[in-house]
Amino acid sequence: MIYSRADNSGLSRWWWTIDRASLLGILCLIAIGLVLAIAASPAATGSSQTAGNFTYALRQFAFALIAVSVLIGASFLDPKQMRQVAASIFAFALIGAIYILFTGESINGASRWVRIWGFTLQPSEFLKPAFAVLAAAFLADKLKHNFPGEAVTLAVLTPAVIVLLLQPDVGQTALLIMLGGIMLFFSGLRYYWLVMLAGGGAALATLAYFIHPHVRHRIADFVDPSSQGYQVGLAADAFSAGGIMGVGPGAGTIKYRLPDAHTDFIFAVAGEEFGFVLCIVIAALFGLVTIRLLLRSARASDPFAQLAGAGLAIVIGLQAFINMGVSLSILPAKGMTLPFVSYGGSSQLAVALTLGLALGITRQRPQLPGALQR
């Protein structure tokens, strides 16, 4: 795709103002996700004794096509449109998450999904990018217009946290609270308030530990290596079997015994079949995308662009770190997908929206002296 800088069309302006290195990194992650979907689909649909099929891989291809469309479309939005889209998505996601508590489909004891046209949708996945943009808008208005941004941000965060805990989804709750705390820190909130927020998060974590048995079980498995959980233990075996270069595409066997091999533990499938090399490539791509978006956000002249770009980049960086950390046994199991790599329509679309908004908000749009983006 080559456009002249003299070309004033909308597509040409988009091409010359977007971070093309981050866009390339994102497309590489999508491509890797498709390759790993082909590798994991037979394990998810069959076993070591029975032949599986490529149903999940075919669905992942369809999800990827839609995700790329969402990614590109979101990157064309201007800051004002982003605020409006984020407000609408947050409202629908919160209403959908509440609705699921009463009527949604329960999987493994958690009510997070609603079935639509044969597919399951997880509305809570869309809370993260929407909250990042809304929080950035509130906190930027505080910096420019003395708006009570911190109070409004916490008021918006609270119902989302409550709904996620009721589902229960402790991992997503922790990620959303961390995102809120980081954005408040970036906006200049005093340290003692941050300490109080950290204390509140610790209290919620303690409450979740005593209320939800699966949380206690995961923490116990993490603290005591001798009682390593079944999934985490198999993931460690997969990395060990793969070594540096992996056992080869389609030659993995541990993946057939690994529950959620196509979703939460897709990183272990990458380690078994493609080895340490592909794992490093995946981690490097996430690092590239996250760091570049953070740097471009820091160079923005508008506080909203700075905060929104940083928040959206942090969502992806944290989620990737948590998923890979769980697979490598350096974090307790949380049931969180690896962005663009794990199978899942809700995850693909939410991540595409997140990174599309991040690419859009960090576009280097020319401005008149003294003019700020709205």
pTM for the structure as a whole: 0.88
Number of Cβ atoms within 10 Å of the Cβ of 245:
12
Rounded CA-CA distance 41/355 in Å is 26
* Residue 357 near residue 77, CB atoms below 8 Å: yes
Taking only the tens of pLDDT, the chain with its 374 residues reads: 555 565 667 788 888 899 999 999 999 999 999 999 998 888 877 765 666 788 889 999 999 999 999 999 999 999 999 999 999 999 999 998 888 888 755 555 556 667 766 667 888 899 999 999 999 999 998 877 778 888 899 999 999 999 988 888 888 888 999 999 999 988 887 777 777 777 877 787 777 767 767 666 667 666 665 555 667 788 888 999 999 999 998 888 888 888 888 888 999 999 999 999 999 999 999 999 999 999 999 999 899 999 999 999 999 999 999 999 988 888 887 778 999 999 888 899 999 999 999 999 999 766 544 444 44
| Integer Cα distance of 71 and 298 in angstroms | 22
Question: Alpha-carbon distance 82 to 304, whole Å?
Answer: 11
Which tokens hold the place of 146? 């003395």
How many CB atoms are located within 10 Å of the residue 109 CB? 10
CA distance 223 to 51: 37
Phi, psi of 94 (to 5 degrees): -70, -45
